[in-house]
Structure 1
Amino acid sequence: MNRIKIVSVCLVVLLISACGTNAPIYEGSVENVKQLKKIDSSGVAVGKFSAATAGVKRISIRTNPLKSPHGKNVIDYLRYALEFELEKAGLLRADANKVIDAVVFRNEINAEGFVTGNGLISIEFSVIEDGADIYKKTFTVTRQWNSSFVGAIAIPAASSNYPMMVEELLGKLYGDADFIKVLAD
């Protein structure tokens, strides 16, 4: 009888640890798209998104991996978010002379707190034209939200805040005077 209980508990623990949390689908920001539409540009392509270290490709929320609905990992999620908003603003062009590349330095969510959770994303964006960097700047966003000791509250709260962090980070990029200047024709 004890063996059955032990095996059952082990199976439950294995099943729970194998589960992941899906990040919400990135729906974009009306404000971000409005900001992009103000830029008089013939368009831009999105190039390479890379991770500064392997660890930033994966986010775990209380040991549950955050799964991206947009590709294999959260780097793909970040790339999708940029492409989505550029497309909505009419600026995404695969054949454009200017290309946006990005290196993700930090990509973190912490839902371990009993009262609050927090997250941080830090990305260096580059704009390349004719093989030369014409823009390079790093943007960082931090966010804090109400959380709980209870995982059933803390994990969804953390995953639902991730797209808001991405939205805020991209808003900083789109609002940067130097970025606007290099995209403008």
Structure 2
Amino acid sequence: MIRLRYCLILLLTLVTAGCASFKAPVYSPDYQVLDSLKNKPLVSVSVAPVEPKDPEAKVNKISLRAASLSTEQGTFSAYFEQSMIQDLTEMGIYQPSSNVQIKATLIENDIDISSFSKGYGKMVVDLEIHKSSVLTFSKQYTGLTQFESSFAGAVAIPKAQSEYPYLVRELLKQIYSDPEFIKELSK
């Protein structure tokens, strides 16, 4: 009898979760990484709108089982852009009028909770640096995360939602920790 109740509750949870849309939490920087860059002599940079801007692009849609994840910014590209601007501002090098511009294109963006006990995040971005409109740097970066999940959608979906900023943070950490990226922005 208890097993039947559990199965009915689980089924009800999965069905109702399928109708829901969840918002990605606000991004918060990895201050340890940012603090390590604050001491380096870096040039001021601007950030171009991250591509793709189309809300219908595959990377701007994340499905969490039957639910969907979205952002306050409207697209995951814009979420990534705002996160990077927040970090660069914290480092003291963001300047919208700078002739050194970071351009990024989101290639992959997913949170996978199809496993019964683990969740996985993957984000891939092509990043370029342009100095006075001349391409001087181009590299692809990948951020990967893994987290505890559950068979129960009522547990797995909110957990995946809360993990999204950590995925973005992990990708940005890969960028900011790259000696080639640092060298390109050094004075």
| TM-score over 0.5 for the pair | yes
Query: Distance between the aligned counterparts of 1:68 and 1:54, measured in 2?
Result: 14
1:51 partner SS: coil
Q: Name the amino acid aligned to 1:164.
A: Y
Alpha-carbon shift at residue 38 of structure 1 (Å): 2.8
The yes-or-no answer on 1:61 pairing with 2:47 is no
Q: Is the CA contact 1:36–1:86 (under 8 Å) kept in the aligned structure 2? A: no
2:86 counterpart residue number = 84
Instruction: Between 128-137 and 60-69, report the one with greater CA deviation.
Output: 60-69
Query: Distance between the aligned counterparts of 2:110 and 2:143, measured in 1?
Result: 11
Provide the alpha-carbon RMSD of the alignment: 2.1
Alpha-carbon shift at residue 86 of structure 1 (Å): 0.5
Q: Is the CA contact 1:32–1:170 (under 8 Å) kept in the aligned structure 2? A: no
Structure 1: give runs of 5+ residues left out of the alignment: 1-11
1:144 counterpart residue number = 146
Identity, % of aligned positions: 28
1:51 counterpart residue number = 52
Instruction: Between 94-103 and 36-45, report the one with greater CA deviation.
Output: 36-45
Alpha-carbon shift at residue 27 of structure 1 (Å): 1.6
Alpha-carbon shift at residue 95 of structure 1 (Å): 0.9
Query: Distance between the aligned counterparts of 1:132 and 1:139, measured in 2?
Result: 21
Query: Distance between the aligned counterparts of 2:130 and 2:40, measured in 1?
Result: 17
2:117 counterpart residue number = 115
- Written as runs of structure 1 = structure 2, the 5 A alignment for 1:24-39 is 24-39=25-40
2:95 counterpart residue number = 93
| Residue among 174, 178, 186 paired with 1:184 | 186
Query: Distance between the aligned counterparts of 1:135 and 1:120, measured in 2?
Result: 23
Alpha-carbon shift at residue 19 of structure 1 (Å): 2.1
Structure 2: give runs of 5+ residues left out of the alignment: 1-12
1:3 counterpart residue number = none
Q: TM-score, normalised to structure 2's length?
A: 0.85
Alpha-carbon shift at residue 17 of structure 1 (Å): 3.8
1:8 counterpart residue number = none
Aligned CA distance change for structure 1 residues 171 and 134 (closer, same or farther; 3 Å): same
Q: TM-score, normalised to structure 1's length?
A: 0.86
